[in-house]
Chain A
Amino acid sequence: MGSMGMGSQTATVSPLAKYKLVFLGDQSVGKTSIITRFMYDKFDNTYQATIGIDFLSKTMYLEDRTVRLQLWDTAGQERFRSLIPSYIRDSSVAVVVYDVSNRQSFLNTARWVEEVRTERGSDVIIMLVGNKTDLVDKRQVSIEEGDAKAKDFGVMFIETSSKAGFNIKALFRKIAAALPGMEALSSHKDKDDLVDVNLKPTQNSQAEGKAGGCAC
């Protein structure tokens, strides 16, 4: 991976800065679904369990620049956690996902965040994502809890539903706004700044909502 342009190094010079986002979280919290919703704006019930790692990349057109996001989708299985550090190593962003209808996955986010911090220190943007908000009846983790946890970790937070297409774009917009080299664009990372960053619209508009309980 030595030759890979690190996002933070190339962001200011290259017109097409590359950023590596690694998706972490327990088994079946919806990591693959979030990525697929973002990439292709579709949702499928039958994603096979991710084995090892998957890799996708997408170009995001922001207001004054274009960035290339490399999305690394990891396996949530405990057994393969030892592989994760090699993926985190040169990532600019870690997206830690939990399932709002699965408290355990929420509790485990602490381990994932810790894993990232161990590997990357503070030199990384971490986003906590509570997915599957469409499961209204089964919710086990409230938005307030998620928000509090994120504050606790000192990371960003958003709730999403890849099934309903809720807040997926917002998630990536938030990430993009926080990317290194973006400071010029948004003087301080605040949710209000998000509106400044325009994604090139994809086919259908998602059921975008406000970024629920942003902590940053």
Chain B
Amino acid sequence: MSVDWEDEGGFSCGGAVTASKKLKKGDGGLEKQEDAKPAPRIPKSLLFVPPSRRPKKTQRLRPEKWKAAFDLEGRPVGFHKLLKIIRKGGVDNSIRAEVWEFLLGCYELGTTLAYRELVRQARRERYNELLEECRMMHSSVGTGSLAYTVGSKLMDVRVASNDNARKRDAPIVETSPVGDFKEQSGGQSVMETRHQTQDESRSSDTAAVDRATSDTCEASLKEGPDSQKMRINSGSESENLNSIIRGERTEPVLLGKTKQEGISSSDDLRLQEPLPGEVDSFATAQLEQKPGAGLIKKETPVAVDEKLVEGVDSVQDKDDLEKAQSSVSSHPMKDISSNPVINEVEDSALRDMDVEGQKEEDVRDSGFIKSVDLDSVPGPRLSGQAERVTDWLWTLHRIVVDVVRTDKHLEFFNEGKNSARMSDILAVYAWVDPATGYCQGMSDLLSPFIVLFDIDADAFWCFESLLKRVRDNFQMEGPIRVMKQLEAMSKILEVTDADMLKHLVLVGADNFLFAFRMLLVLFRRELSFPEALYMWEMMWAADFHQATAWSFEYHSLEALRLPNFDSPAKIYPFEEESTCKPSSPEQLTPPTSPERLNTSGSPSFDPLRWRALTKRRSFCGLRPGRLWQMNRSRFNSTNVGLLGPDGDQDISVFCVAAILEQNRTMLLEKLQSMDDAIKIFNNMEMEFKVHSCVNTAVKLRKRYQNQSSKRVSLERRSIARHAQSL
């Protein structure tokens, strides 16, 4: 079964070329197709917004305009003009994925196309490494099937994600139900067998184990044509895993290290890697090959792009592609829509995992650790790492429980492999960010990226960029960001609509809990899927400066650092730092010529300086200093204090205020208690139009900020006067 959509998200700018040509359709279903090229990568219906509820076509950011906004080397110029367009009318579907990458700060504005491609490749590699780590802990990860513990009626199998080797081995078979789960209440029967090492369990486990545990992946491996290879691999996998657990480093796995160690020694290691040379040759070659408009230069990646369009993720050569395709088509996707999937998952109830001292054992009981044998790990049992693995496995289960019920109303997610992609990404995220793990709501935020991006790694990185902004909501500890935002609502309404505030206080709804869901999953539940996409991009455009600025408060997760790229050192010569005191945002983009690339990648490269920079510049290559400057010029100095990381200045908060304003009459009349408020908002009994909402929100925010700064200056004046009189 070939994938019925084109790749556009795979490459940031190159996509624009292909996009403008062939991605005419799928955009609300209104445009006609110019080229007779491939079918839309995203099903039309998925992105259809009724005309009355979407921005006018002319208001949207069109591919032509987007394409024109890049210089010869593929650097976006005049991005800030585009921001305004996006804020007012959203983005055309065909270019959405690549625009989002910029909006979310995945790529810095000043970067060239060649550089971005390098970063992208490095990110994909890192993602695949992480995926591999996760797969060692649970064999289902990255295989397209979900990690069911019990209940075997499963989702189907997809082509494995982006790792080449894996791809060839990918079990592209229709997984058949492995029979009903016959576990005893305590799960004892399964437990014993699971104590074996992975190798044993793979090759010589009894069929009963497979049947009983119904790990679909395991089952599919046995049935798959390439199962032999997988089995051969399994031995080394378990070794790797053991070393992960022991906290040893399995190159290139960075994560096996403890955090403190990881920083210094791994950085050193990275420095010695031959990447600078590669960087240069690759970048220059590309630039030489394709002189001309910035985007056209992107043809190399685009060529890959076209291949991907055929339907298989990240297959890098034609042979792979053909192989994969043939096997895909000869194994039609199993229709799971009729299967009571969710129930099976819910059934796979979590056992007494948290019971003191039993945790590890229980995880094993519930079928999580197939490939891990914690007993065989030398050294103290339940070391930090082992505990972390156990926690992760527990989290994986919770992920699956939610993934199978996320956006199930979309046909797209009835395809099991798409749910599995979601599960993979969440699992990898939970692994790299144990302080967050998985929390409900995250799957809602992830699903649009799954739809927009063909390559999991790209989706992952975008998702991670979004989470950076809202991580506080989902972290296990600490105050919830949304709660702070709700607290700010009163202050905001005081300025924008005092009567409404009075009313809400009167009826006891001034805790604004009715807006909790909206802010937590960014209006995903209140809007249709395609409307939510518009809403998001419009909000991100409105928040672009703020978000990128205070994102620096949050460092990149250790495991996601790409030492060769997080530091602009190799790309941006150090001198540029001083020359870069922009007066207007447009001038922010530093010159990045191939020559400069060469110098910076030269052997005279100073690792100490480099490391210092890396630490300072951990945010996806964005440079805090300049962005702060930019912000200072955009918001006057009195407002700077308001731009907190608390999110009380987020446009989403003002969107809630805008919704209140737009439904003012109705709310003042109907809303007589907090219950009413929750009912009205949950059942969407109010008017909520995306574009007018965001536009109103922008105005309200401006008004609020002006008022606040006036108040501040008034206070200052009165203090000064008071001081004078003294």
Contact = CB atoms under 8 A, between A and B. Distances in A.
Interface stretch (B269-277, B399-407, B543-551): B399-407
Contacts of B673: 1, 3-4
A163 B521 contact: no
Nearest to A73: B682
Given A3-B508, A51-B444, A83-B513, A27 B401 contact: yes
Interface in B376-425: 398, 401-402, 405-409
B342 A51 contact: no
A105 interface: yes
B441 interface: yes
Contacts of B687: none
B644 to A, nearest CB: 21
Nearest to B402: A49
B517 A51 contact: yes
B351 interface: yes
Interface stretch (A52-60, A167-175, A193-201): A52-60
A52 B440 CA distance: 10
Interface in B200-250: none
A1 B185 CA distance: 44
A75 B682 CA distance: 14
Nearest to B182: A137
Contacts of A52: 513, 516-517, 520
A28 interface: yes
A28 B346 CA distance: 7
A103 B351 contact: yes
Q: Is the interface of A mostly helix, strand, loop or mixed?
A: loop
A138 B150 contact: yes
A94 B203 CA distance: 50
A2 B513 CA distance: 15
B340 interface: yes
Interface in A96-128: 99, 101-105, 107
Contacts of B508: 1-4
Given A51-B520, A53-B678, A102-B351, A45 B343 contact: yes
Interface in B449-485: 474-476, 480, 483
Interface in A5-64: 20, 27-28, 30, 45-49, 51-55, 57
Interface residues of A, number: 42
Given A27-B398, A99-B349, A102-B351, A1 B520 contact: no
Interface residues of B, number: 57
B474 A79 contact: yes
A202 interface: no
Contact of B516 (A30, A53, A102): A53
Interface in B500-515: 506-509, 511, 513
B347 A51 contact: no
A140 interface: yes
Contacts of A70: 675
A107 B443 CA distance: 27
Contacts of A80: 440, 480
Interface in A56-93: 57, 70, 75, 77-80, 82-83, 86
B407 to A, nearest CB: 8
A87 to B, nearest CB: 8
Given A4-B674, A163-B343, 5 more contacts: A28-B401, A57-B675, A101-B347, A107-B352, A138-B181
Interface of B: 150, 180-183, 185-186, 340-343, 346-355, 398, 401-402, 405-409, 439-441, 443-444, 474-476, 480, 483, 506-509, 511, 513, 516-517, 520-521, 525, 672-675, 678-679, 682
27 contacts: A1-B509, A1-B673, A3-B508, A4-B674, A20-B675, A27-B440, A28-B401, A28-B402, A45-B341, A45-B343, A46-B405, A46-B408, A51-B441, A51-B516, A52-B513, A53-B516, A75-B440, A77-B440, A82-B480, A101-B347, A101-B349, A102-B350, A102-B351, A103-B352, A104-B354, A107-B355, A138-B349
Q: 10 shortest A-B CB distances, which residue pairs?
A: A102-B349, A46-B408, A52-B516, A1-B508, A45-B342, A101-B349, A77-B440, A52-B517, A2-B508, A51-B517
